[in-house]
Chains A and B, each alone.
Chain A
Amino acid sequence: MSVETGIAKIETRDLDFYYGPSRALKRVNISCHTNRVTAIIGPSGCGKSTFIRSLNRMNEVVPGTRMEGTILLDGHDIHASDVDVVELRRRVGMVFQKPNPFPKSIFDNIAYGLRINGLKDKRKLENVVERSLRGAALWEEVKDRLGENAFALSGGQQQRLCIARALAVEPEVILFDEPCSAIDPIATAKIEDLIETLEKSYTVVIVTHNMQQAARVSDYTAFMMLGELVEFDVTEKIFTNPANKLTEEYITGRFG
């Protein structure tokens, strides 16, 4: 299902996913476009996290899982034999549900992705750290304490640190897996603002169980239920005039 014309940045075709014998995704077709925010909503257990974790092949690290169907990044199959999963994950960054800073200094957290790719030049690292922290709207708050342990930051700051850490390796796509579910409303607002800024330079996909959040930040919304894509359309249409009865019932809060 594609809402926009032109080649999608990410496109899934008949994506199926299994945890052992249980099927978590059923023939899911979604396209995500550059400079657009695509939100995935749906009740708990609908497969939205499974879906987003397929896009950077993070599901592979879970034992006993199996995937069928195709995922294209710039029209190229991400499971093709010439694709290096390590390079794929650099291009498709991810921010997790719970802020997961490493127990290192703020600086070392941001520099982590560059260092594992062999960058040692201190000046360059400093530049990227500053740029990434600015990009994640965290620089002003931490610029005087880059050597402090990242655990000393508040939950909302930690999540922005994780965003900065993802930005540092210059990804093309950023996946957000319920990024605000573990932080307070004020910090949530900051992250939502940030997502709107990131949209200008990246392809953003966000999983959320907060419908208002999807309505606020996204251009397109996909509604999933029980592993199936129920409806995928322009966000405004989904929230004002959904085509499917289930979508309407969900967004009006009749179940969820």
Chain B
Amino acid sequence: MSDIHNVAVLGFGTMGAGIVQVVAASGREVTVLEADQARADAGLDRLRSFLDGGVQRGKLTESGRDAVLARVHPVTDVTALAGSDLVIEAVTERADVKRELLGRVAAVVAEDALIVTNTSALSVTDLAGAVSNPERFAGLHFFNPAPLMKVVEVVRALQSGPGVVDRLVAFVEAIGKDPVVVKDRPGFLVNHLLMPYLNDVIAEYDAELASAEDIDTAIRLGLGYKLGPLELLDLIGLDVHEHATRSAYDATLDPRFAPPPLLQQMVAAGYHGNKNGQGFRTGKGNAQ
């Protein structure tokens, strides 16, 4: 059982929309803050089209979809978040943007409202410093696409107070996800393990170990992974991976996180993976 009923989500982008859907589907009211009406409308459209896809595939009824949408309230004024029990921040991965917004939100919500960040690349402990009463702060890291991925990392910041992590674990279970409590380390747990592996594959591909297709085939058939590492990178976005692994490298100076030269060059050339059709397994970036 979770004591969290009213949830606010900051940012109605890809991750924000996914989180909004998961929380609203659990029967909770969700207020979503965006910078302006156009972005709020775009987020609502994104959510609606995802839910429509669920209806078409028979995963969701039309009335179920309408009930979820009825619980979602897009706003552009931060004061509309005043009654929230929990605020989930999911705006762009820039520390300055997140800190400024978190400070404003903390001033509006109750002193004991929980505030969490969905960052994947920044330090939760650092962001906690942006809010008053930082003991109510933690990380809640959803994976993309949030409605489909079962795991949510609950990240304990250095400042997180006793009981905060327990309340978040109960909340994650209440919205139908599997919580994993992790430390505030670069990449937390999953990306901490994933990033060096992906960097290693990029470096070996650059060193002509095998074609991109054969590397993916070997990993899929040999280990039973759903995706090979290079098609996974195209899906994640080369720019997204480059930013995340660079952040981890800056925080640790551990060479396993250092973005490999080929990755840097592909990002510099504008090859971002599936989203613009240029990556390891697709388009011009396919160096095979």
User: Is A bound to B?
Assistant: no
Residue numbers of B with Cβ under 8 A of A are: none
